[in-house]
Amino acid sequence: MTNEEKVLKTFKEKFGQEPKYIVRAPGRVNLIGEHTDYNDGFVMPMAIERSIWIALRPRFDNLVKIYSVNNQEWGEFELANIEKESGWLEYIKGLAFYLQVAAYSLNAWEGVIYGDIPRGAGLSSSAALELVSARAFFEVSNFTWDAKEMALISQKVENDWLGLNSGIMDQLVVATAKKGFASVIDCRSLETKNYPIHNIAVVIMDTNTRRGLVDSKYNERFAQCQEAAKLLGIKTLRDISLKEFEEKTSLLSTLLEKRARHVISENERVIAATKALEKSDYKTFGQLMLASHKSLENDFEVSSKALNIMVDCALKQISCYGARMTGAGFGGCAVALVETKYIQDFSNAVRNLYYKQMNIHATVYISGAADGTKTVLF
Ligand code: GLA
């Protein structure tokens, strides 16, 4: 059974009828450009084939009522009376709250939600949950779908409802991605350019380690970047080249210098990686991925033992062009670029090697670049 069939079947079981719509939002993997988005910098993510689906029908009162297949429980809230609590429903409530703050007039719906994006793995299950909810409200209410605007409202859920100072990368790519393409995003102007991913496999390797307290460490990095920019006399770390930065390092403590060096050098790597991708020069791309990983490990200090081992296991395979941790870090997934015809051998070898060293079973996902948020049945 496909996931679409699964939400459809559960909807019929719970509501005794066919749904009116099925909407879907994907997860994402970031190829390069980590911890740059909240510094107004550059990123290169793509949407993946794992997603969250909602099967729904409109309601004509004020109640949003949802059955979660993953949690096997119901959740509900009133549109006119949204208050902060905790749990999976917060993403949907927060989204409804900020849509209404932005003067969208919302109608209610009821439905079934199911997702196959592993949680806490750095593949943006939360952005998918926000955007799939936005799409559900769009289908039952009367407004035009502006993908960028929906991404910005979803980011507010993270920043203001959940207190995570995250950037716009996840929401923007989840909202706007195109099948077959990676997106290069300028996180200041939000300008996005799509680059085809040809003849190359993107392999996602889940260390199956999850770290607690990620949010507080993330916010700490955010604050350090802001502080470094202030001391350097610039608006954000986007506003300085690596060359200029090297002449000004005396303005910073050793710690802030390391944090800033990661962000500034990472922005330059994204630009270089974009050029490499244009020429299908995967060798150079792979080297930039490794440099990104080293910088995240040593300067930004958001990698982990499991992530470092996973990257090493990947790099030992001759079919691998490059690998790095992906997402916020401290656990979760690494990503590798691999010659397409060897992906099975690559995946098996990495799983075996990683198990030998960590005594943990890794999960490997092979994913093409998928479409962003959309309605799949109406
Ligand atoms: C998380 C955040 C993003 C981004 C990455 C790190 O995924 O949600 O905004 O900052 O971490 O690159």
Q: What is the pLDDT of residues 162-172, one digit of tens each?
A: 999 999 999 99
- How far does residue 162's CA lie from ligand 1's centre (Å)? 14
376 is a domain residue: no
pLDDT at 256: 98
Residue 377 belongs to some domain of the structure: no
Q: Is the pLDDT of residue 215 over 90?
A: no
pLDDT at 214 over 80: no
C-alpha 64/C-alpha 122 separation (Å) is: 28
Q: Which of 171, 194, 217 is the last residue of a domain?
A: 194
Confidence class of residue 212 from pLDDT cuts 50, 70 and 90? confident
- Minimum CA distance residue for ligand 1 atom 10: 35
CA distance 30 to 63: 36
* pLDDT tens digits, 318-341: 999 999 999 999 999 999 999 999
The residue whose two tokens read 């079947």 is: 9
Query: How confident is the model at residue 216, as a pLDDT?
Result: 84
Residue 213's pLDDT is what?
Answer: 62
Q: Is the pLDDT of residue 207 over 90?
A: yes
In this structure, which residue's CA is closest to atom 2 in ligand 1? Answer: 166
CATH number at residue 148: 3.30.230.10
- Over residues 114-161, the pLDDT tens digits come to 999 999 899 999 999 999 999 999 999 989 999 999 999 999 999 999
Ligand 1 neighbourhood includes 299 CB (under 6 angstroms): no
Provide mean pLDDT across the span 242-261: 98
Q: What is the total count of domains within the chain?
A: 2
Q: Is 327 in the pocket of ligand 1 (CB under 6 A)?
A: yes
Residue nearest to atom 11 of ligand 1 (CA): 328
DSSP character string of 275-288: HHHHTT-HHHHHHH
Domain boundary among 173, 194, 215: 194
> Token pair for residue 104?
């969208």
Four-residue CA torsion sign, 66, 172, 323, 296: negative
Distance between CA atoms of 320 and 282, rounded to whole angstroms?
Answer: 10
Angle at 26 between CA 300 and CA 312, to 5 degrees: 40
Task: Report the run of H or E that residue 324 belongs to, with start and end.
Answer: strand 320-325
Tens-digit pLDDT profile for residues 337-354 = 999 999 999 999 999 999
Q: Do 235 and 345 have their domain in common?
A: yes
Residues 261, 169, single domain; the answer is: no
Domain extent for 129: 3-194
Kindly tell me the number of DSSP H helices and DSSP E strands found in the chain.
Answer: 11, 12
CATH code of residue 317: 3.30.70.890
If asked whether residues 173 and 266 sit together in one domain, one would say no
Q: Write the single-letter amino acid at 328.
A: A
Q: Are residues 55 and 181 in the same domain?
A: yes
Is pLDDT of 104 > 80?
Answer: yes
Lowest mean pLDDT among 45-54, 214-223, 317-326: 214-223
Average pLDDT of the residues of the chain: 97
How far, in Å, from the CA of 164 to the mean position of ligand 1?
A: 10
Instruction: Tell me, yes or no, whether 141 and 202 share the same domain.
Output: no
Give residue 170 CA to ligand 1 midpoint distance, Å.
Answer: 7
Is the pLDDT at 377 greater than 90? The verdict is: no
Q: Is residue 228 part of a domain?
A: yes
Mutate to test the pocket of ligand 1, among 125, 170, 204 (most ligand atoms within 8 A of CB): 170
- Report the distance separating Cα 99 and Cα 93, nearest Å: 10
Question: Would 375 be classed as within a structural domain?
Answer: no
How far does the centroid of ligand 1 lie from the alpha carbon of residue 54, in Å?
Answer: 24
Nearest CA to ligand 1 atom 1: 328
Residue 45 to residue 197: CA distance in whole angstroms = 11
Whether residues 61 and 147 fall in one domain: yes
Residue 292 is assigned to a structural domain of this protein: yes
Active site residues per annotation: 170
From the list 231, 245, 222, 211, the residue with the least C-alpha distance to 330 is 211
Atom of ligand 1 nearest to the CA of 30: 12
| Two structure tokens written together for 356 | 């030998």
Residue 372 lies in a domain: no
Q: What's residue 322's pLDDT?
A: 98
- Sequence-ordered list of residues with C-beta below 8 angstroms from that of 42, at least 6 positions apart, any chain: 33, 36, 184, 185, 186, 187, 267, 270, 271
Whether residues 165 and 49 fall in one domain: yes
Cα of 27 from ligand 1 centre, angstroms: 13
Same domain, 227 and 177: no
Nearest CA, atom 8, ligand 1: 166
Domain shared by 122 and 250, yes or no: no
| Atom from ligand 1 closest to the CA of residue 126 | 8
Asked if 323 contacts 307 with a C-beta cutoff of 8 angstroms, the reply is no
Q: Are residues 201 and 254 in the same domain?
A: yes
126 domain residue, yes or no? yes
198 vs 289, residue with greater confidence: 289
Regarding pTM above 0.85, the answer is: yes
CA of 21 to the centre of ligand 1 (A): 30
For residue 173, give the H/E element and its range.
helix 169-176
Residue 378 has pLDDT above 80, yes or no: no
Q: In what order do the strands lie in the sheet with 201-206?
A: 320-325, 333-338, 201-206, 363-366
Which whole number is the average pLDDT over 41-45? Answer: 98
Q: Which tokens hold the place of 161?
A: 């409802």
Q: With a 6 A CB cut-off, is 37 part of the ligand 1 pocket?
A: yes
**Same-domain status, 172 and 220:** no
Considering 153, 177, 194, which residue would you say is the last residue of a domain?
194
Give, rounded to a whole angstrom, the gap between the first and last alpha carbons of the chain: 20
Atom of ligand 1 nearest to the CA of 33: 12
Over residues 65-94, mean pLDDT: 96
Nearest CA, atom 9, ligand 1: 167
Same domain for 180 and 291, yes or no, is: no
* Residue 378 within any structural domain of the chain: no
Q: Which of 223, 64, 222 is nearest to 134 (CA)?
A: 64
Phi, psi values for residue 265, rounded to 5°: -70, -35
